[in-house]
Structure 1
Amino acid sequence: MSEKTKYALVTGGSRGIGRAVCIQLAKDSDYKILINYNSNETAANETKVAVEAEGNKAELLKFDVANAESVSKSLDAWQESNPEAVIEVLVNNAGINKDGLFMWMTTQDWNSVINTSLNGFFNVTNHLIKQLLVNKYGRIINMVSVSGVKGTPGQTNYSAAKGAVVAATKALAQEVAKRNVTVNAVAPGFINTDMTSELNEKELKKLIPANRFGEAEEVAHLVSFLASRNASYITGEVININGGIYS
């Protein structure tokens, strides 16, 4: 039996932390990189070029994590055309925020954030988990947030979604540990990305003991470690990466 080609799938891999993770995994591992994106194909292609510049291979995979049918269809079609391939690493990074005070929050702003961050985690992970268990090896890394562990005012929806993924991480880790599948969460604080570009860094960094925003690459190094064989005894953990703002 020939050796299967091993892949790492990063959802929301076209920009920000997702892009940095794709590039870091390309540098640190032999995994071919599957870059999931929803709408921004130009950005996804830029990530692909950056991965290939590291001497690794990358493919784009378009689907909306919040749409279970789209997830299944896309992953099944990819598997059919790559019968010798196996996804060993899953980084659930796709997420959106629709910030605002809870009192004024619309049902749509609540649902869209929950659907992407929480149901997106379910849709993709649930589709791939059987294969990881059959292969008796896998790495699942869920991108959460300081909002999901501490709670952030103006982000009740985002905090709820990420907090739920924190709890799901801890539960799923216990279900699959015997099969050498680890499940961990990474909880970034303020990181320089498109998502934080509107924030007042000068004011906010006063709250951060490290006195600066973090860089996407710093998060990516942590994710890359958790995706490696060196992290095989770490599971069910939520690792904060926030410059000391909360622990």
Structure 2
Amino acid sequence: MANFLGDMSGVALITGAGSGMGRATALKFAEAGAKLILVDINEAGLKETQQLIGSNVKAIKLVVLNICNDQEVIDMVRAIPNDPEFGRIDYALNCAGVLGKVRGPFANSSTSDNDFIMNVNTRAQGIMMQEQLRVMLAQSPRPAVEGQPPKPLGSIVNWCSWVTFHGSATSWAYAASKHALAAMTKSAAVAHGAQGIRCNAVCPGVMNTPLLNAETMARMVALVPSKRPGEAEEVANLALFLASDTSSYINGALVSIDGGWNAC
């Protein structure tokens, strides 16, 4: 896959890397030859991801922070250009997010939980993206491989959801947060595409995750044409492709990876 994707030797900043799709994405980028800056609030999870990667990485840095803490995010991202081991951001993979703790119809929703979801999935993502874009805009393109076009300044991949295209009967805030992130993704693509920065989003459907109990999983999978949940590695493969120069003409796209759910 690394040959198909071309040169992936840049620096990848991956949030939510302590578990699930973020961890799978970190493993894929390590395999492709990127240097890794892995971010999560869960220090134990980050260390486990590092152990899974092992020595199969050019350079790796673990950053434990709360993405809802504006100053922590700003300080972390702004320090990267001055880090002699990394010095830049070529790929930003914004996987960190939450489903929320309270599920139920709109009329019975929890204001505090709604605020929590919107803060993590929307506001924090906006601040993170803004800081990532500022670093990318200030850096020079990576040296091009002989005979190939110049490298872009950077590529951002956000994590939306199948609900980006629908509503949610059990969490309006989660659906709204992902609709907002989709708009942010497109806005960044329109604003900075001419400057050599692409921004796209993956939109996973039902995933094989312990967050869903067996009954809920079975009910949701029954609605999927492929009749199975997705795997974290499948989403990581898509994110790797969207970040790579192989997808150089894809910008502002919301790419479904849901077993056909969105086609129904």
Normalised to the residue count of structure 2, the TM-score between the two structures is: 0.85
3-state DSSP class of the match of 2:262?
Answer: coil
Q: CA deviation at 1:196?
A: 3.1
Residues 82 and 153 of structure 1: is their aligned pair in 2 closer, same or farther, counting only changes over 3 Å?
farther
Per the alignment, residue 139 of structure 1 pairs with 155
Deviation sequence 1:47-93 (CA, Å, 0-9, x none):
11222353443211112112211211233345444476111111111
1:193-232, CA deviations, whole angstroms, 9 ceiling, x for partnerless residues?
2333565322322111000001000000000001111111
The match for 1:24 is: 28
Q: Structure 1 stretches of 5 or more lacking a match?
A: none
3-state DSSP of counterpart to 1:194: coil
CA offset at residue 110 of structure 1?
Answer: 0.9
The corresponding residue for 2:18 is 14
* 1:85 pairs with 2:79: no
Q: In structure 2, how many angstroms separate the alpha carbons of the residues matched to 1:131 and 1:79? A: 7
1:125–1:209 CA distance, 2 compared to 1 (3 A): same
Q: Which amino acid aligns with 1:223?
A: A
**C-alpha spacing 1:53/1:202, structure 2 compared with 1 (3 Å):** farther
Shift of 1:166: 0.6
Contact 2:36 2:59 (C-alpha < 8 Å) held by counterparts: yes
1:51 correspondence with 2:78: no
State which drifts further: 217-226 or 119-128. 119-128
Which is richer in strand? 1
User: Is residue 2:123 matched to residue 1:119?
Assistant: yes
Q: What is the rounded CA distance, in whole Å, between the counterparts of 2:83 and 2:215 in structure 1? A: 43
Q: 1:171 aligns with which of 187, 194, 217?
A: 187
Aligned to 2:244: 228
The answer to whether the 8 Å contact 1:51/1:58 transfers is no
Aligned residue pairs total: 241
- In structure 2, what is the Cα distance between the partners aligned to 1:66 and 1:166? 19
Q: Deviations over 1:18-57 (max 9, x none)?
A: 10011011112x221111011x211110111222353443
Find the counterpart in structure 2 of residue 60 from structure 1: 62
**Structure-1-length-normalised TM-score:** 0.91
